[in-house]
Structure 1
């Protein structure tokens, strides 16, 4: 009798309820392509940097590149659109604020970003424009020269720091005009191009030595009744990191309002470094639900150091919530990375249930110590 009663309850009530829940879930996912993509696909991406401009500007080379990536089972391209204070696409916005020197177009006068998107979509590859420089810009850029009031400074009044890109200055992420400029820049791309998402990296941040400009000092004093302390002070670190987090929340909302299905991707450094040294509290961003995809840059030659980084607890937490991957160095100009190192790191990453993204396109096979055929064969065995 009890078994019959239990079966009746299951058939009459629970089974229809579970069916309805499943149907609603399917409808929600299908109505949001980016959500469907984010749930179903592992990250298998590659960055296209300013060093790849020759590929991006040549339609025949770009077609060959996209075709190769599809054959090797890549699924996402992250092309640079913001570098050294310049938009790597025809930007009306940058011209309105006095950035006139460069208008990037292809060899045939084409819009390189639009061309890449069209070709990539034909090969079922997603395109997520990458705002590489974030708040960073060279001191000699038109952006820095024409808007000195947008720059922040160190406690001693100096404005520059050293980076992989050389000497740079930093736009003040707390200044409302800077926030509006970055927001407008992102929305220009989101509105004008058929993108699948956008990406920010470790430069959507601020080195902890900065924040002592007049505007930020006044704001901190107004809110705390104190003057800014030393760069290492934990409360000062938290205050600045929270301000950047608040801006990223607003930026996410602005993007989603324009294109709800756009993937909001970030590619920072590992968390302790990002937060303590660059005020980039990306773990909080994930927990607040404003990040749809995370790729942590782990550019290490030593395998044990690499394994230590990809085993960190925050990655274990995040991969339960959103697609999570590891950025792997495929090589640099004058510094090739051997295929065996790339394979060992990629396999270790995939074994841990994480996706992979490679920095950068031309170093996959064109700037390597092995032959092009050896590199292609190596990548053909790698992605699954």
Structure 2
């Protein structure tokens, strides 16, 4: 009797778990899924200063491999932490976070940015180059190279809170920062330019930003210094936007601001929050305006608060931002670094906090994805966050949301698809006559369903299963456009499978599928 009861309860538990799994909605086919990879202070990469190029490369490939398993389809990599470079540059010195000494080149020589670009694209990931526009030194102890811009143009800088920052009120500063960004845009095949939340520095109590002389020299017709400061940042953002669109209109421009634009106390158009240092009033960054005027393509507000936070409730902010997208893309920045570690709030010790945030973002209109700070925090799997991404929320691959206002191409479907079984897996080869960004490989189990004719008692006809390209469950891989071959190494059961391939342009508009090819796989 006990044995039968035990078997009954085990069967009941399995049934309930299966029903729960089936009740979870299928992840969307298109969604921006990214992590920030910070280089400043060696937060994420490289693991420490002075590592050999070989070890740096090994580390970065491991990071990408893990995030590919996590379902991540874009990386936002910090390539300019503090007026220095994680790439070959004639304008700024090599970063100390690479070699241990600012200005000291790689030995043996290599270009980290080109390497990272190539590796990300191999894995079907977009690469967004993350610049910190105004920070010149990271801390008061920083030792800069002789050719660092603070040495060449000391009059451009202000010392604030122990650090040197570019003075945003000087027009030459705006032009210099634009030149640095455009140097990368012109020389590298990046997918996006990305700024974080550091514009005018976060205010320190009783320490006003010392720009009296700059205001007197460049205020023009402005009688309000705060408006003038916002104008200075506006001019930088608009200038970079115009410059990118003039040479590579397909490159995306995104900003990740502080999560509150204005509190309700700052004006009726603000959010119902009371958080300190809103971007509009404290950092002089009118991020909402940049979306409204189309100067940027996407925004990632850093909503690093838990659901129910009294000063800045995650749900309140998600809904506010979703109502202020102005037909531009909105992704949500998640504070993965707080999960299980924030001693101030017990809510961050709840394993369901980030999953609830992801669910809320997905069901809110006008939100197209999520970004996590930072890479290492996700990879450490706090409260099984990484497991949740792999097993549930990012279970299947996703294409990126389409930016309709960007440059699009008309793509023909790939043709002459050949599929055959090899010792290493199912090998696919196809042809295509156009330059494309990626190919998408789909695999379907070939099922048969009976279709009865009128005289069904005499004859029965079978039809192959109709492939559904709208479901991400069938995506096997994204292949960078320079390749027209792929080996499906997925362990398969014996049976028949159907493969099709589509092409994507830079905005991930998708072509019609190639002709479907069936293979009989023998295990």
TM-score, normalisation: structure 2: 0.55
1:382 aligns with 2:393: yes
Change (3 A) 1:105 1:310: farther
In proportion to residue count, which structure has more strand? 2
Aligned to 1:276: 281
* Pair 1:129-2:129 in alignment: yes
Q: Is the 8 A contact 2:300 2:331 kept in 1?
A: yes
**Aligned mates of 1:114, 1:174 — CA distance in 2:** 33
Secondary structure in structure 2 of the residue aligned to 1:379? helix
Is the 1:80–1:129 contact (alpha carbons within 8 Å) kept by the matching residues of 2?
A: yes
1:1-52 deviations in Å (ceiling 9; x for gaps): xxxxxxxxxxxxxxxxxxxxxxxxxxxxxxxxxxxxxxx9422111000112
1:114 correspondence with 2:114? yes
Aligned partners of 1:122, 1:49: CA distance in 2, in Å? Answer: 21
Q: Which residue of 2 aligns with 1:193?
A: 188
State the partner residue of 1:219.
218
Q: 1:124-163, aligned counterparts within 5 Å? A: 124-132=124-132, 134-135=134-135, 137-138=137-138, 139=140, 140=142, 142=144, 143-144=149-150, 146-152=152-158, 159-161=159-161
Query: Which residue of 224, 238, 242 corresponds with 1:249?
Result: 238
Partner of 1:229: none
CA pair 262-204 structure 1, distance change in 2 beyond 3 A: farther
- Runs (5+) with no aligned partner, structure 2: 1-28, 48-52, 263-277, 343-347, 397-523
Kept in 2: contact 1:85–1:141 (CA 8 A) = no
Deviations 1:50-94 (A, max 9, x none): 112236963233223223323332111000011133222222111
2:255 maps to 266
Match of residue 165 from structure 2: 170
Q: Whole-Å Cα distance in 1 between the matches of residues 339 and 305 of structure 2?
A: 16
Shift of 1:280: 0.2
Please, what is the CA RMSD of the aligned residues?
A: 2.9
1:78 aligned counterpart, secondary structure: strand
**Post-superposition offset of 1:212:** 2.0
Q: Does the C-alpha gap of structure 1 residues 169 and 69 become closer, same or farther in structure 2, counting only changes over 3 Å? A: same
Tell me by how many angstroms 1:334 deviates: 10
Give the Cα–Cα distance (whole angstroms) in 2 for the partners of residues 74 and 187 of structure 1.
Answer: 27
Q: Larger helix proportion, structure 1 or 2?
A: 1
1:327 and 1:298 mapped to 2: Cα distance?
6
> In 1, are the aligned partners of 2:72 and 2:125 still within 8 Å (CA)?
yes
Residue 293 of structure 2 is aligned to residue 288 of structure 1: yes
The counterpart of 2:229, out of the listed 203, 216, 240, is 240
The aligned residue for residue 328 of structure 2 is 322
Q: Residue 349 of structure 1 aligns with which residue?
A: 361
Moved more, 289-298 or 345-354: 345-354
Structure showing greater relative contact order (alpha-carbon pairs closer than 8 Å, 6 or more residues apart): 1
SS in structure 2 opposite 1:199?
strand
- Residues 177 and 242 of structure 1: CA distance in aligned 2, closer, same or farther (over 3 Å): closer
3-state DSSP class of the match of 2:328? coil
Change (3 A) 1:105 1:328: farther
Equivalent pairs counted in the alignment come to 315
- Contact 2:83-2:92 at 8 Å conserved across structures: no
3-state SS in 2 of match to 1:271: coil
Matched, 1:203 2:211: no
2:374 to 360, 367, 370: 360
Provide Cα deviations, 1:156-181, integer angstroms capped at 9, x if missing partner: xxx313xxxxx433211121221122
Say which of 309, 312, 337 aligns to 2:317.
309
Separation in structure 2 between the aligned mates of residue 46 and residue 213 of structure 1, nearest angstrom: 39
Matches within 5 A, 1:62-101: 62-95=60-93, 101=101
| SS of equivalent to 1:277 | coil
Other structure's SS at 1:299 match: coil
- Cα distance in 2, alignment partners of residues 59 and 104 from structure 1: 18
Please give the secondary structure, in 2, of the residue aligned with 1:80: strand
Query: For residues 52 and 129 of structure 1, what CA distance do their matches in structure 2 show?
Result: 15
1:237 to partner: Cα distance: 1.3
Contact 1:328 1:358 survives alignment (8 Å) = yes
Task: Tell whether the 8 Å contact from 2:215 to 2:225 is kept in structure 1 after alignment.
Answer: no
Q: Which residue of 2 aligns with 1:16?
A: none
Q: Shift in Å at residue 123 of structure 1?
A: 1.4
Equivalent residue for 1:300, pick from 280, 293, 305: 305
Rounded to whole Å, the distance in 1 between the matches of 2:194 and 2:143 is: 22
Residues 1:327 and 1:105: Cα distance change in structure 2 (over 3 Å): farther
Deviations 1:91-126 (A, max 9, x none): 211149xxx952577786432221111011111100
- Whether the 8 Å contact between 1:66 and 1:120 is mirrored in structure 2 is yes
SS of equivalent residue, structure 1 residue 276: coil
CA distance in 2, matches of 1:206, 1:357: 23
Partner of 2:46: 54
**Change beyond 3 A, Cα 1:58–1:207:** closer
SS at match of 2:301: strand
> 1: distance between equivalents of 2:107 and 2:332?
33
CA deviations on 1:226-285 (whole Å, 9 max, x unpaired) are: 6xxxxxxxx321222123212211111112222111001110012111001110011111
Contact (CA 8 Å) 1:105, 1:112: kept in 2 or not?
Answer: no
